[in-house]
Structure 1
Amino acid sequence: MTLLKSFLSAGAVFAVSAAAAMAEPGLIIDLGGKFDKSFNESAFNGASRWVEETGGEYLETELQSEAQREQNMRRMAERGANPIVVLGFANASTLEVVAPDYPDTMFAIVDSVVDQPNVKSIVFSEHEGSFLVGMIAGLKSESGTVGFVGGMDVPLIRKFACGYAQGVMAANPDATVISSMTGTTPTAWNDPVKGGELAKAQVSQGADVIYAAAGGTGVGILQAAADEGVFSIGVDSNQNFMHPGSVLTSMLKRVDNAVYEVFSEGLDGFEPGVTVLNLESEGVGYAVDEFNEELITDEITTAVEEAKAGIIAGDIEVHDYTSDDSCPALTF
């Protein structure tokens, strides 16, 4: 009997181990869709790169409404996906509730911190990357007035705006920064019409460079800037290709790398806790390619690279709006 029990116990351990080894990762895409050309699409690109390089498969779901958050998260866990990457700060409160119910499922959330033993929290130093593109805007602007159009008015987006304004002021202390937010609900992430209207309003106030940090809404902002003959700055993904010669640069937020790394590490390499991706780790940065390289002069490159080195070395401190809900360079 003892031998039989030992055999059965060993078999159970083997079955659990095999199941874990065979588990497919999962990706829960936030509102706005995986082809928003910004945050979600960057994550999707990271998952796609993992598939291309490994031949693996993953499970995926896209949120269509706020009401689906908990249902989609639980369904993904019950389908056996492991680890599961959850996109967006709006999922944090839901994950706080769901994660304890699935202790053997590892979750990674992007853009928020969830303190659970089976959760990895991945956050970015968006203010640092935004500072650099702000410098580019300040150095490129001829009017001395630049704009920022955010998506949903939340501390995270104010973090982008604040870093941007600090960079603009570092390049041109006499500059004016106009800031607008698309809305106060999640629909603000996918309203390109309103985004375009806000961009045009800023152009009428003299803005000749506009930074869009608004998810799918940014498509309308970049289009309006191109139509009005001013520069825009993309966000998250490299959006330079969307309007060559009009998109001055893009603030890269490497959500793609975050997803790729979680998928690649799998369960064996999964480490709960907080991971911060900043300039030093190349988690944020700015894009220069064939679509905008003629717009970025040597003088701009030299100034921005010096600032980048200063931030990494700790000689330049970029204020993080989320640290105290304040911004020294911009009033909301």
Structure 2
Amino acid sequence: MRAFRAVMAGAVAAAVTVAAGCGGGAETTTPRSRPLQVGLVYDIGGRGDRSYNDAAAAGVDEAKRNLTGLRVREVEAAQGEPAGRKVERVRALAEAGYDPIIAVGYSYAPALASIAPRFPRTRFAIVDEPTVSGPNITNLLFASEQGSFLMGAAAAMRSRTGDVGFVGGNRSPLVRKFEVGYVQGVKHVKPRARIRIAYLADPHDLSGFDRPDKACKTARRMYRAGADVVYQVAGASGAGVFRAADQADAWAIGVDYDQAKSADPAVRHVILTSMIKRIDVAVYDYLAGVADHTVTSGRIVYDLKRGGVDYSLTGGHIADLHPRLERLKQEIIHGRLKVSPG
């Protein structure tokens, strides 16, 4: 059943840890004789965003290849839609008998909090914080501050100007964790470095994750002001940061996915590295757990130690930095270096 775990063994440990205080959660499975009917609801940008949503899609695609009889219905979100549409989307899948239902992104937290209690025999999972509690809800979480610390360290090591940037899709607590980790990493390597920070939207406005033109203008201002490395945590908007880096002959850092492989080929050469968030592994593991009746409710945290976050070496641009980054990574894993989430 866990073929994907075996495939990813070099990058991700097979087990995941249920966060302390949750007691492992209650099993949320009920026996099923029919094939799994999976409902998957995407965040803004959907499949094809070459970032966050595509990472979830990759986990589902791998599950289709390895888990017998899996059937999936994928539903997109629309930019600027009212919050009630997410509730309607999740409820419609539950009423149609989809089980489990996976929500990609924190914006679905209110929808799951509302719908999951009404369908106690349906299993739900949500990717990212905030945590949604319930006996039939699994929270797939990531220590993004740890991976972002390494991105900050890499940016500071590579920067010639001592001036780097950060562009976030919106000013939500989730994206702030990336910023906080990144700043800690930069300052650990270069305490006097200048860090330019910009967000494309307010905390509850998801449009910032699908505004590549706005992201391009924002990053362009940073590069013109002196930044030579910019880390983007902006979903589909990240394409705009890559475009600005290409125009400025500077570096950009990707997120969620190995974007030196997934971005437009015309800009891949400017992607220094990417903070990989193994959403694909988390989604696959969840579906495998549902299939073999081992899935639990509660928080499951994917961190550096568990291989849930990491960084990419594609392009060879940080080959010379790799030994130093690995030392920092091991210090975090073994608790000698603490990274605050905020």
Q: Same fold, TM exceeding 0.5?
A: yes
1:79 to 75, 96, 104: 96
**Aligned partners of 1:23 and 1:80 also within 8 Å:** no
Higher relative contact order (CA 8 A, sep 6+): 2
Is the partner of 1:58 in helix, strand or coil?
Answer: strand
Cα separation, 1, equivalents of 2:318 and 2:127? 31
Cα separation, 1, equivalents of 2:35 and 2:53? 26
Query: Does residue 1:278 correspond to 2:303, yes or no?
Result: yes
**Aligned partners of 1:26 and 1:59 also within 8 Å:** yes
TM-score by length of 2: 0.85
Deviation at 1:25, TM superposition (A): 2.0
Cα separation, 2, equivalents of 1:224 and 1:25? 39
Match of 2:208 in 1: 188
2:319 to 267, 288, 297: 297
Output aligned runs, 1:75-114, within 5 Å. Answer: 75-112=92-129, 113-114=131-132
Deviation at 1:23, TM superposition (A): 3.0
Match of 1:29 in 2: 42
Cα separation, 1, equivalents of 2:231 and 2:148? 9
Which has a greater percent of helix? 1
Q: Which runs of 4+ in 1 moved over 4 A?
A: 16-19
Structure 1 residues 156, 74: closer, same or farther in 2, change over 3 A? same
Match of 1:233 in 2: 253
Q: Is the deviation greater in 222-231 or in 49-58?
A: 49-58
1:61 to 75, 93, 98: 75
**Aligned partners of 2:252 and 2:272 also within 8 Å:** yes
The aligned amino acid for 1:61 is: V
Match of 1:318 in 2: 339
Structure 2, gaps ≥5 residues long? 1-29
Is the partner of 2:269 in helix, strand or coil?
Answer: coil
Please give the per-residue CA displacement for 1:237-279, whole angstroms capped at 9, x wherever unaligned: 1101332321000000111111111111125122001111100
Match of 2:284 in 1: 260
1:176 to 187, 191, 194: 194
Cα separation, 2, equivalents of 1:186 and 1:316? 33
**Aligned partners of 2:259 and 2:268 also within 8 Å:** no
Structure 1, gaps ≥5 residues long? 1-15, 322-332
1:70 to 87, 102, 110: 87
Query: Does residue 1:166 correspond to 2:184, yes or no?
Result: yes
How many residues align? The count is 301
Computed over aligned residues only, the root mean square deviation of the Cα atoms, in angstroms, reads 1.4
Is the partner of 2:186 in helix, strand or coil?
Answer: helix
**Aligned partners of 1:124 and 1:284 also within 8 Å:** yes
Query: Does residue 1:48 correspond to 2:57, yes or no?
Result: no
Deviation at 1:301, TM superposition (A): 1.0
Is the partner of 2:300 in helix, strand or coil?
Answer: strand
The aligned amino acid for 2:276 is: L
Q: Identity, % of aligned pairs? A: 34
Match of 2:294 in 1: 269
TM-score by length of 1: 0.88
Cα separation, 1, equivalents of 2:67 and 2:117? 30
Match of 1:12 in 2: none
Cα separation, 2, equivalents of 1:259 and 1:79? 21
Match of 1:309 in 2: 330
